[in-house]
Structure 1
Amino acid sequence: MDRITLQKVDESNFLDCFSLKLDAKQERFVSHPIRSLAQAYVYYKQCTPFAIYCAGQVIGYLMVIYDYDEEAYFIWHLMIDVQHQCRGYGRAAMEAALTYIRSKPFGDSSIVRLTVSPENSAACHLYQTLRFSATGRADEDEIELERVLD
């Protein structure tokens, strides 16, 4: 697997993010990049959207947001383009996001949360192997998972 990097979404790469695609069966699990990046714009004071790069090409995106009310970081909308799935890029992107969070204020002892559809077995497996566990809370049809950074 080639090394991946996270780069903040900006005017040089947002169109590449807009072009990312999922398999038709996956579209209900992740918001379209246009919608996600619009949310990042609205929450710009606390949200950082990242393009996921591999070999100079945008292959996915994810967003990190700090929720001041819950005093926790959230990972929003992890998406790997359908042509680049099943190669370990999602795991590498998550690990890079966790490293980024550790570098932020409160990141050294922070809680990281995310939500996932229980029907998205690939994502559930990924998060379980990254030591996320269920909180018992739900957001609509998605369950909330969390991990305390070490």
Structure 2
Amino acid sequence: MLYLETITKHNWLKAISLQVRDDQLTFVARNVVSLAQLNFLDHFQAKGIFAEDEMVGFTLFGIDEKDQSYWIYRMMIDQHHQGKGYGKEALKLIIEDIRKQKEAHHSTITLSYEPENEVAKQLYEKAGFREVNGLLIENEQVSRYTF
């Protein structure tokens, strides 16, 4: 069973040691970059994705200052744990975490991905995210989940 746990001074080294496969490096920023970026994101949180007591993935999500909507900026599963269904389960946990936190005026979660990343596209579609037709941000396809 998976669960999310906040990245702290006790587990951040494990978070930055997680890696995607070499062929996925163009799709996902390294976790060390995400943790650095967190210093400039007031309403975001970084969480480890855990299976039992082992961190198997990482996520960064929160309220974007530009549009005041919830965004999932990052989600990754370590290369040694891919193909086990963790991505699908982790995405459900992230949605549920946001659902518990959200204020009444928030009705969507937004994310973006490289259009060539078919695995991500399928994962997000199966979870209920729908592409915003024609909307690209920095050459990434935008998709939204509606509560």
1:96 aligns with 2:89: no
Q: How many residues align?
A: 146
The aligned counterpart of 2:60 is 63
The one of 126, 130, 134 aligned to 1:133 = 130
Per the alignment, residue 30 of structure 2 pairs with: 32
Question: Over residues 81-124 of structure 1, what are the superposed CA-to-partner deviations in whole Å (9 max), with x where a residue is unaligned?
Answer: 00000111111111001111111132685210000111111110
- Higher deviation after alignment, 101-110 or 82-91: 101-110
Q: How does 1:48-87 map to 2 (within 5 A)?
A: 48-87=45-84
Are the counterparts in 2 of residues 102 and 108 from structure 1 also a CA contact under 8 Å?
no
- What RMSD, in angstroms, separates the aligned Cα atoms of the two structures? 1.4
Q: Contact 2:59 / 2:76 at 8 angstroms: preserved in 1?
A: yes
What percentage of aligned pairs have identical amino acids?
27
Bigger shift: residues 132-141 or 102-111: 102-111
Does the 8 Å contact 1:49/1:61 carry over to 2? yes
Structure 1 unaligned runs (5+)?
A: none
Task: Find the residue that maps to 1:28 and give its secondary structure.
Answer: coil
For residue 101 of structure 2, give the secondary structure of its aligned residue in structure 1: coil
TM-score by length of 1: 0.92
Deviations 1:37-72 (A, max 9, x none): 1111221x2111001111201111001110244231
Structure 2 CA distance, aligned partners of 1:107 and 1:16? 35
Equivalent residue for 2:121? 124
Matched, 1:41 2:39: yes
Tell me what 2:14 maps to: 16
Distance 2:57 2:109 in 1: 20
Does the 8 Å contact 2:69/2:106 carry over to 1?
no
Separation in 1, partners of 2:107, 2:37: 23
